[in-house]
Structure 1
């Protein structure tokens, strides 16, 4: 596609920012990024595809929720380094269940739009929890335990994983099923906090687990040594 050659991919480090706008109302829905393959997929299918920096992969908008974006037009700006995507939005654009990802006023610190759809079931509890943790990064540490962990000393945050792992192993040893579940939930939460501190999405863990399917334990270990 000749139009793709107008984009200075080297200048943009392989990713171009994309402003997504609802075609009928002009409402700005979200900001995301595309690599060259994502642009090609979007143009070929007329369905928005983006490159996720946290997941480190291409994703079709709505692949989990069904809230896809049908593309009506793609506009390149005057500097050839930003795309404006005009779409017909199915459902909502934001993972929080709001129409737009832009919903907090910086003047009043209040939410200007409300949740329209409960997206927990669509994204799953792990992904939802991870997003909530990310949103709490800059909250008041006196009011949010998650913010306190993220804004405190890294060693303190990591020690919690060690502590919870120890409590989990003792629950296994004691054959206490309720405690096993409780402590496992604690480990997962603290692991997600640590991952959020490095902006590593749980989707990347899912990708790694999927990669290991069909491989024997020996093959998997050998693949790690080779890489």
Structure 2
């Protein structure tokens, strides 16, 4: 059975395609595909679309390198809309935002809700100040520990105690290892964020501020690993 035989294309031979991030379900973009684009997507494993303005087939990332590796293809109950779940490399939007849906209409004004992405060697960095996020998140975790709000995942971790938090850190570290072995940058970013979050929970549990860890990294900066370990009696 061919997918194109199931789908209902419009009178122009097109079907809308909603594309989302496979790992966090963020909506990345909306585009259109014709029969050839769908067949090329199935054949190559990478998202292809049909440009209505240029009247031609195109592969996402063919010039920018911001490719979309398809992990799952779904279609709706009316069989007239596709949903691609992809492993997005870099930015999905031509404006260098991760998602094309980076603006919202809020109280009569349009505002951006997502910073521009800079892509260096396939690694994603946001242009907002990331240094502050560790302190902001740590402060929020401390607040959760003090207030223990009902229904809070973090509060449940604190209530469960050190052993549960340590177990979660171990589990998330294992997920990072799997992402490394899978050679998936998007998966590695996602799983690393989970690990750092749970590590911060552990720090908050013991009232160790993240700046202490950063200061230790600064202390080690420029010192060879062998010398640094030797100074601590390591091997």
TM, length-normalised to structure 1 = 0.50
Higher alpha-carbon Rg = 2
> Whose strand proportion is higher, 1 or 2?
2
TM, length-normalised to structure 2 = 0.48
